[in-house]
Amino acid sequence: MWTSESVFLECIRDLGITRFHKLELAEANSIKKSIEEKFAMSCKDAKLFYCRLFERLINNTGSLVFDKQAWLWFRDYPESSSVLAFFETDKESEVRSKRIEHMFEFESIKDLIDVYSEAPIYTLYITNRNYDYLLAYTVEDSIIAAGTAMDWLDARMRQEGV
């Protein structure tokens, strides 16, 4: 059966990337909860039916740009430590459950973006272990940045003339 995790893992295998691991579900959901508390409005306060994380970031804090290829910019994000990646697969998954099913840790943001470039089929979130920032690329072709990533995205938008 096709799942976002199976597609992601297939891309990792096909690219020969070995410097990553999948986090346990309890740890992944604890991290997502911490990120939501730091960067997002609650679903109740946002008054959104689907309550996707990136929609709540826009209303609370963060920078936003629409560009179909902007996810490639993540490759240049100045992160020297490992990165955590998780995704929302569809609107209904957020209605049914506030949990996530998959979170991966990559030693390099470049490795993560190489994998995502093979199958950019879902909303991707990236952060570090300190939750200093949150980057998101949505299925609506937008990048949202929160925390310390806001200055980076603003500078990149100026560089790109967006």
User: DSSP assignment of the chain, as one string?
Assistant: ---HHHHHHHHHHHHT--SEEEPPHHHHHHHHHHHHHHH---HHHHT-SS--HHHHHHHHS-EEEE-TTGGGGGGG----S-EEEEEE--HHHHHH-SS-S-EEEES-HHHHHHHHHH---SEEEEE-TT--EEEEE-TTSEEEEEETHHHHHHHHHHHHT-
Q: Is 90's pLDDT higher than 70?
A: no
pTM metric for this prediction: 0.84
Task: Give the model's confidence band at 96: pLDDT under 50 very low, under 70 low, under 90 confident, else very high.
Answer: very low
Task: Give the model's confidence band at 101: pLDDT under 50 very low, under 70 low, under 90 confident, else very high.
Answer: low
CB neighbours (10 Å) of residue 13?
11
Amino acid 97: pLDDT: 45
Q: Is 100's pLDDT higher than 70?
A: no
C-alpha angle with apex 121: 118 to 47, nearest 5 degrees? 150
pLDDT in tens, 32-75: 889 988 988 777 676 666 677 877 775 555 566 777 777 888 88
